[in-house]
Structure 1
């Protein structure tokens, strides 16, 4: 069994590497904070990511066909409607997911 100093050294090295890997992106982004590209990506990237997640999520249900498409459509409309009305992402996501699960379970 390894002695305590060896284990402490391993934990210290692992902690240092973890800290460096987490700090590296921030250190790399610091000079680019005033870049027009970073501002553009910060403005448009969230919408692009959400569209990609939507496509990835809806693709299997649409491919299955049948009532799955109807349930997906209703859940998407509930999610979008709640988000438009209340502007609370958590509420709209939870409600849309609940509607989809209930519809899939009942039919």
Structure 2
């Protein structure tokens, strides 16, 4: 109970999920680009579209689906 009352625990609790997601996206994007042997253009396009759709539509499932679809289409057609 002492730990829950500490202010910094609340700050870390608010910041940590976003920081973990950003690190996971960066790691996955760079790893797949390095495995493919090119620049992370499809990864960046997918993340960018996901952010734009989420910003305007505010539907997480739709934005994740749109970003994933763009990534898969780009990787399989243009960067194959």
* TM tier relative to shorter chain: 0.7 to 0.9
Structure number with greater CO (CA < 8 Å, separation at least 6) is 2
The answer to whether the aligner puts 1:65 opposite 2:34 as a matched pair is no
- Taking the aligned partners of 2:61 and 2:9, their CA distance within structure 1 comes to 27
Q: How many equivalent residue pairs?
A: 75
Q: Which runs of 4+ in 1 moved over 3 A?
A: none
Structure of higher CA gyration radius: 1
**Please, what TM-score do these two structures have when normalized by structure 2?**
0.76
Matched residue of 2:5: which SS?
coil
Q: Could you say which structure has the higher helix fraction?
A: 1
What pairs up with 1:67-106 in 2 under 5 angstroms?
69-106=40-77
Deviations 1:42-79 (A, max 9, x none): 1211221111111111112332215xx22222212111
